[in-house]
Amino acid sequence: MTDWKQLDREYIAPTYARFPVTLVRGQGAMLYDENGRGYIDMGSGIGVSAFGACDEAWAAAVTRQLNTLQHASNLYYTQPCVALARTLCERTGMKKVFFSNSGAEANECAIKAARKYAAQAKGREYSTIITLRNSFHGRTVTTLAATGQDHYHEHFQPLTPGFAHVPANDFAAMEAAVREHKTAGILLECVQGEGGVVPLEADFVRKTAALAKQEDILLMIDEVQTGNGRTGRLYAYMGFGIAPDIVSTAKGLGGGLPLGATLLGEKAQYALGPGDHGSTFGGNPVCCAGAMSVLERLDEDFLAQVREKEALIRQMLEGAPGVKAVTGMGLMIGIQTEKPVSEVLSQCREEGVLCLTAKDRLRLLPPLNIPEDLLIQALETIRRACA
Ligand SMILES: *Cc1c(COP(=O)(O)O)cnc(C)c1O
């Protein structure tokens, strides 16, 4: 039998520490390895497969488009990206959408739009982007500069200049940074995902939004992980009562296909003009058809079910033996464990439940439509592993 793990070590660049499982197929919230062993999926491929593996409606939408036109380039008009952009704007109040292929690219576009807007509104020197400590915004040289965690920066200096980081939930530090730097934009995750699934304080977010408005600084919300129903709202910012100028998203948007989107509001909608930005694969018709099928199903009833599942998770895990804290929103959950998280993760895997980690926490990002019986079964396993 082919040893895929050995071949992976031989031919794949060694940037990933993989778990010892080869996944070959999936159905809904179940994933299967090469021996046919089933696992409950509590990670959705890092929040990507919003409706789990090979969801019927999603696969039908994708296959239909695949058999119609798989790519055309942005030199021509195509229908799926326009339909998706209209839906995104109608459901958020944003004005225009730029499509790309990943979260990092969605943030790159946001940063470019903010810098150009500020250059035109106030002058070229207004270029600083303020982000938070413990944030994560991507792996490109610019989005690494935005990321407020030094260990990601280590070997890749010099990074793109013009970024400042302030501690999360420290509004005085935010005000001071805005006074100190000629600022183009502020970029925030409403729930810091890679940083340990830590929601921002609503008061800090609202004050920051008001400050940005007052100073004509663009407020950019990174919804790459929190977006598309993940937190029990269509976008997490909607639960904070703010109106951002730019929203970036990716992960769950395509339901399993690579798709990034940067939503531009009133102020930023014309910042990038012809020739300012582009992406060969951006707005790919197959990815956009998949995304339409995802968004169509994220209605208020469905989002309420996501919040009910959060309540169930909290009920089963808060105060359970070995569980120190449960953080997060909706189906984006962090669990602080007494045991080392790697131990809990391995035990869950051995018992047939695939979870994620974020820093020292166990992280759960199950498919948004995970059936309640599978969710309960996974939570029972997690409880046993934590105890
Ligand atoms: C995953 C993530 C990114 C980067 O997305 P990629 O698709 O890996 O480029 C950016 N921001 C946040 C908040 C993320 O969770």
User: How many angstroms separate the alpha carbon of residue 229 from the centre of ligand 1?
Assistant: 16
Check pLDDT > 90 for residue 188.
yes
pLDDT at 297: 98
Q: List the chain domain ranges.
A: 4-55+302-386, 58-297
Pocket test for ligand 1, best of 44, 224, 332 (most atoms within 8 A of CB): 224
pLDDT above 90: residue 100: yes
Tens of pLDDT along 246-258? 999 999 999 999 9
Residue 212 identity (one-letter amino acid): A
pLDDT per residue over 117-136, tens digit each? 999 999 999 999 999 999 99
| Nearest CA residue ID for atom 5, ligand 1 | 103
**Is any atom of ligand 1 closer than 6 Å to the C-beta of 222?**
yes
- State the residue for tokens 């569980």: 323
| Same fold: 4-55+302-386 with 58-297 | no
Cβ of 250 closer than 6 Å to ligand 1, yes or no, is yes
Q: Mean pLDDT over residues 181-187, rounded?
A: 98
Pocket test for ligand 1, best of 105, 194, 359 (most atoms within 8 A of CB): 194
Confidence label for 217 from pLDDT (cuts 50, 70 and 90): very high
Alpha-carbon distance values, 172 to 105, 167, 208, 221, 242 (Å): 30, 10, 10, 20, 19
Q: How far is the CA of 85 from the centre of ligand 1 (A)?
A: 20
Q: What is the mean pLDDT of residues 198-222?
A: 98
Which atom from ligand 1 is nearest to the alpha carbon of 104? Answer: 9
CA 1–ligand 1 middle distance (angstroms): 36
Mutate which of 48, 105, 129, 137 for ligand 1? The one with the most ligand atoms within 8 Å of its CB, which is 137
Locate 151 and state its tokens. 């260990």
Q: Cα(166)–Cα(133) distance, rounded to whole angstroms?
A: 6
Give the mean pLDDT of 168-195: 98
Calculate mean pLDDT across residues 10-21. Answer: 95
For 295-323, the pLDDT digits (tens) are 999 999 999 999 999 999 999 999 999 99
| 3-state helix vs strand vs coil in the chain, percent to 5 | 40, 20, 40
CATH class for the region spanning 58-297: alpha beta
User: Is a pLDDT exceeding 90 seen at residue 375?
Assistant: yes
CA distances in angstroms from 348 to 178, 220, 309, 345, 357, listed in the order given = 45, 36, 20, 5, 12
Distance 260 CA to ligand 1 centre (A): 10
Closest among 137, 24, 63, 3 to 286, alpha carbons compared: 63
Residue 20's pLDDT is 93
Ligand 1: distance of its center to the CA of 136 in Å? 7
Residue 18's pLDDT band, with cuts at 50, 70 and 90, is: very high
Mean pLDDT estimate for the chain: 98
Q: Domain 4-55+302-386: which CATH class?
A: alpha beta
pLDDT, average across residues 160-187: 98
Q: Is the pLDDT of residue 34 over 90?
A: yes
Gap between the Cα atoms of 280 and 11, Å rounded? 27
Single out the residue of 263, 271, 228, 273 nearest to residue 243, CA to CA.
Answer: 263
pLDDT at residue 1 above 90? no
Does 2 score more than 90 pLDDT? Answer: no
Q: How far is the CA of 108 from the centre of ligand 1 (A)?
A: 11
What's 253-320 look like in SS3? Answer: HHCCCCCEEEEECCCCCCCCCCCCCCCCCCCCHHHHHHHHHHHHHCCHHHHHHHHHHHHHHHHHHCCC
55 lines ligand 1 (CB under 6 A): no
